[in-house]
Amino acid sequence: MGWHRDFNSYLNTVRFQDAWLGELLQLFELHGIANETLVVLVGDHGQAFKEDITTRTGTYKNGHVSNFRVPITFRHPHIPRVQYEANATSISILPTILDLLINTGSLNRKDMTIASDLLHDYEGQSLIRPYKNSRNGRRAWNFGVINSGASMLSVTSADAPWRLVIPLDGASQWRFTDLKNDQLELEPLERWSMEQLVGDARNIYGEEASQWLVQADAVAQWWASERKRLWGYKTTK
């Protein structure tokens, strides 16, 4: 039982949260605002346990996929119950809310025009429409910043099952996994150089996977430097 102690505590926490959320939703019903309220539930990050990866638990400098699998739920009494499958991130939440407001008659004409203009300013896609895995030959990339920040970055694309974790501080290995055949990342491919990783991925997973790796690394490096520029981040020496 000691081996599963942390996971057991986590499940007890989930049970408490479920009960609290149930009370909150009942409160909306009691005050007659349930039909006027869109509830969005989302996790900020996942949680890797010993059951997932024996060498490291938690989120700190841990690129395991369990730390990135989070639920996103949109709840309203009149929204149909649909299970939506897409390799997406939480940046799709705001475009989805705007799309719902526009197409449910929830806004007046002026606000609808404003919301329609805003919708195209966001990177994420609305989740009430078919998800576009690529557009004009460009993949729909997803990025995940790994705690504590500027040390590691994960990248996936909506059109492929592969996942790459890159080191930004030179202190970690490049990490490649095939989530189609290894959903729990039990057999990650880890190397100390990108060249090694690409070569070994080609031998094991094929040419298409190695080409994806090269693209993913280039896009991830650009994304990391661009975010530093946008937020005025400067490393201290």
DSSP 223-236: HHHHHHHHHT----
User: Does residue 113 sit in the same domain as residue 148?
Assistant: no
Domain count, the chain: 2
Give the domain range for residue 190: 141-231
pLDDT at 82: 87
Q: Nearest 5°: phi and psi at 42? A: -150, 145
User: Does residue 103 sit in the same domain as residue 193?
Assistant: no
Helix or strand holding residue 191 (H, E): strand 189-191
User: Does residue 39 sit in the same domain as residue 102?
Assistant: yes
User: Does residue 114 sit in the same domain as residue 84?
Assistant: yes
Burial class (CB in 10 A: 0-12, 13-18, 19+), 141: buried
pLDDT at 47: 82
pLDDT at 196: 96
Q: How far apart are CA 234 and CA 185, in angstroms?
A: 33
User: Does residue 145 sit in the same domain as residue 101?
Assistant: no
Who's near 142: CB < 8 A, 6+ residues apart?
A: 87, 88, 89, 155, 156, 157, 158
User: Does residue 85 sit in the same domain as residue 54?
Assistant: yes
Last residue of a domain, one of 61, 85, 119: 119
User: Does residue 76 sit in the same domain as residue 166?
Assistant: no
Q: Which residues of the chain have pLDDT under 70?
A: 1-3, 235-237
User: Does residue 35 sit in the same domain as residue 83?
Assistant: yes
Q: Does any domain span residue 133? A: no
Q: How far apart are CA 222 and CA 85, in angstroms?
A: 28
User: Does residue 34 sit in the same domain as residue 69?
Assistant: yes
Tell me the chain's radius of gyration from C-alpha atoms: 21
Q: Does any domain span residue 124? A: no
Choose among 127, 108, 124: nearest CA to 40: 127
